[in-house]
Amino acid sequence: MSAVEPARSRDPRVPVSPQLALRVAIIGGLAMLMFGIIFFRLWYLQVLSGEQYVQQANANHERQLPVPAPRGEILDREGHAIVTGVTSNVVEIVPSQMPTAVSEQVAKYEKRLSEVEEAHRPALDQLLRFERVLKSADRKATASERREKQRLERAARIPRVAIPLLPASAIRAHSLFTRLGRVINVSARGIDERVVQGMTATRYANVIVKTDAGQRALIMLGERQSEFPGVIQRPVSLRAYPHGEMAAQILGHVGQVSEGELKLSGFRGVLSGTVVGQEGLEFYYDRYLRGTTGVERVEVNAAGEPVPSNLAEMPPQSGRSMKLTLNLGLQEASEKALREGIEHARANSKPANAGAFVALDPRNGQVLAIGSYPSVDPNRFAKLLTKTEYGALTSTSTGNPLDDRAVNGTYPTGSTFKPITALAALEAGIVNPEEGLGSGQCITVGGEQFCNAGHADFGAVGLVEALKVSSDTYFFEVGRRANSHGRVIQKKALELGIGEPTGIDLPSEFHGVVPDAKWREHENALELECEKRTHVSSCGIVSERRPWTVGDDMHLAVGQGDLLTDPLQMAVAYSTIADAYNHNGEGTVVRPHLGMEIDEANGGLLQSLSFPPRRHVHLNPTDVNLVMTGLHEAASQPGGTSAEVWAGWDQSQHPVFGKTGTAQHGFEADQAWYMCYIGDPNHPIVIAVTVEQGGFGAETAAPVARLMASKWFGKPGKFVAGSSKTL
């Protein structure tokens, strides 16, 4: 009997279909791929990028503070110091060593500041939009636009946020600030406010509470350090302007770099807090003068507060010095002469609230002297200025002393423009120089009268005599004729350098306006667009929307109407004419400049600065001689508009070619002008002087020019006012 085979248990596994197997394989592959990516990423972060992230982690607990480098000196052409540096000591507060009550003050102040800024944000946005519109227009703002901008600025201006009082319970802080205040002559509340403002701006940086604290503070704080915990002092190099207000607008000043400036290519790589040039030559040549800022490395904790450390420091390197074309003696004498001219005008009941001058070497464009009044002492910027103090320096109520009227003035020129009109008319064949024109007190065109100053009648005169006596009616006739010949006056003005930037080595300058029919059409369009956009009857861009007329050319011929320029452009134009006079009609439109050379800190020459002329012009020698004869007779012959001013001057040794001007500027009193070229084989000079609301040119501006010329040629200086009352 055969054995019975035991029954087999049933296999629980279910056969896998090919489709399911494929899905499992795909999912498994994706999982492996994901694990591979994660593994590679971990390997990349830990192995390849580990050092980079370690550096970034270290940077999170390290801050860099700039250590100012001594700026290079600014010297005149003879090497005399105009701007230098002095070593002084500043007193600072270490934020991390201040009592807790001060930190609580900072927190409250930050909250209040944030609330006020948020409330004013809509007004600020509106101001920014308005400024963008003005910038896109690429022109000088009108009076109406300036008023609107001032209104928006007032609305957007963030009011001073009061700093919370230090609690009476903060005895330790009160005691420290009171003791320190007695030493540095600052109130305890003043110190407290500076500390709170400084900690709000940069929590980890020391707060300067006193610059140039003086020797007494240095000794007391050094001897009693234990009584002033958290107070330190250190030597710093401060910018010094030993001549005070002299050439302040040209020199500029220095200050900590702003957030906006850090975005400029010229300040690429500059650390926040670095002292850089602000305005003028200090700004334009900052890359040479600044030197290399040092770095103090500060270690901070997670709260951003400094902690003790031994991080290495990088010492600063001094900046390079630069030599200017300015002559210090002439600059000082010119500043004094301008003030004397203004005082003379005021003594004769003229407002005379501002003025400017330029002295130029016509051969190469070197600026020998340049200045603007009113002025400001740039030493003030070495210390902390409040918003109110800075606002006063830019306010029209104080004369805007930061405004450089020599290169940014916006003026009609009056009769000093007549030589340009004369050259244009002669070249275009509009007038015969011997032809008598301009008889009578006035001429009438289109129902409008165009008259001589004081309704004088010079009779029918030729071109030379017209320049000598400054006959307006003669040049009104020239302007009327020029109108039918197109842009002859405008082209000559632009050719000689009026109505375009001169290219001077300064951060900004006025472009100028030489009006013509196309310009008038453009201004009319802007006015119409503004009226439609703002729904007002007039935006003030033009007084009235009208086409160009013959009267516009007549006003331009005598330097009036819509013509706007500044003393520097006029000096360039007269230099061009003088150069052509000395070279048989071949003239050079120079590029005026102040920089001469860059020197190493030890005094060695590093680089001579080159300023090639903008262009050469060819003027008819006969025409130039006629114009220059008229200018010379105006300054030397009886009846000449400035002959009385130059009485006693040796015309044979240093002949004067001068032109007075009295410009009507809006509703203000007349503006005084004087332009002259004084010949000399070795050091000729072109001088431009203007005094706002100073009256007649011969009475106010011409005497200033004579004082400047006297200094330049080593003659006794004497203020000689003329009595001529011609435009």
- Residue by residue, DSSP assigns 63-100 as EEEEEPPPPPPEE-TTS-EEEEEEEEEEEEE-GGGS-H
> How many domains does the chain fold into?
3
Please give the Cα distance from 491 to 420 (Å, whole number).
Answer: 10
Report whether pLDDT(53) > 70: no
User: Strands 615-618 and 586-589: what pairing?
Assistant: antiparallel
Q: Does 4 fall in a domain?
A: no
Reply yes or no on whether the pLDDT at 77 is more than 80: yes
**Does 432 lie in the same domain as 355?**
yes
Residue 191 falls within a domain, yes or no? Answer: yes
Boundary-marking domain end, from 259, 289, 324: 324
Give pLDDT tens digits for 555-601: 999 999 999 999 999 999 999 999 999 999 999 999 999 999 999 87
CATH of residue 428's domain is 3.40.710.10
pLDDT of residue 598: 94
Of the chain, the percentage scoring pLDDT greater than 90 comes to: 53
* pLDDT the model gives residue 1: 45
Residue 443 burial class via C-beta count within 10 angstroms: exposed 0-12, middle 13-18, buried 19 and up: buried
Q: What does the alpha-carbon distance between residue 190 and residue 181 come to, in Å, rounded to a whole number?
A: 8
Query: Is 9 contained in some domain?
Result: no
| Confidence check: pLDDT of 549 > 90 | yes
SS (H, E, C) 160-225: CCCCCCCCCCCHHHHHHHHHHHHHHCCCHHHHHHHHHHHHHHCCCCCEEEECCCCHHHHHHHHHCH
- Regarding whether 306 and 362 lie in a shared domain, the answer is no
Residue 620 belongs to a domain? yes
Q: Per the domain annotation, does 155 fall within a domain?
A: no
Do 246 and 341 lie in one domain? The reply is no
Give the residue numbers spanning the domain of 33: 29-60
Q: For residue range 622-636, list pLDDT tens digits in order.
A: 999 999 999 999 999
What single-letter amino acid sits at 193? E
563 falls within a domain? yes
Q: Is there a single domain that holds both residue 78 and residue 53?
A: no
Q: Can you tell me the mean pLDDT for 471-477?
A: 96
Same-domain pairing of 682 and 610: yes
Contact 376, 248 (CB under 8 A): yes
List the one residue out of 215, 106, 229, 85 whose CA is nearest residue 164.
106
- 283 shares its domain with 208: yes
Look up residue 267 and give its amino acid.
Answer: F
Q: Determine the Cα–Cα distance for residues 657 and 645; give it in Å rounded to an integer.
A: 12
Task: Tell me the three state secondary structure of residue 112.
Answer: helix
Same domain membership, residue 353 and residue 204: no
**Higher confidence at residue 148 or residue 515?**
515
Do 540 and 650 lie in one domain? The reply is yes
* Strand ranges (E), 361-407: 367-373
What one-letter code names the amino acid at 422? Answer: A
> Do residues 678 and 656 make contact, with C-beta atoms less than 8 angstroms apart?
yes
What are φ and ψ of residue 372, in 5° steps? -140, 145
Residues 338 and 270 reside in one and the same domain: no
Query: In sequence order, which ranges of 320-469 are alpha helices (DSSP H)?
Result: 328-347, 387-393, 405-408, 418-428, 463-469
Confidence (pLDDT) at 142: 65
**Domain endpoint, select from 292, 309, 324:** 324
Residues 271 and 215 in one domain: yes
Same domain as 706, residue 685: yes
Share of the chain above pLDDT 70, in %: 88
The closest alpha carbon to 543, from 560, 532, 527, 559, belongs to: 527
Assess if residue 641 is contained within a domain: yes
369 within 8 A of 358, measured Cβ to Cβ: yes
Helix (H, G, I), strand (E, B) or coil at 332: helix
Contact 645, 675 (CB under 8 A): no
- Asked if residue 426 is part of any domain, the answer here is yes
β-pairing verdict for 448-451 and 615-618: unpaired
> Do residues 448 and 581 both lie within one domain?
yes
Tell me the C-alpha to C-alpha distance, in Å, between residue 100 and each of 25, 96, 607: 65, 9, 54
Q: Dump pLDDT digits (tens) for 314-337.
A: 787 888 999 999 999 999 999 999
CATH number at residue 228: 3.90.1310.10
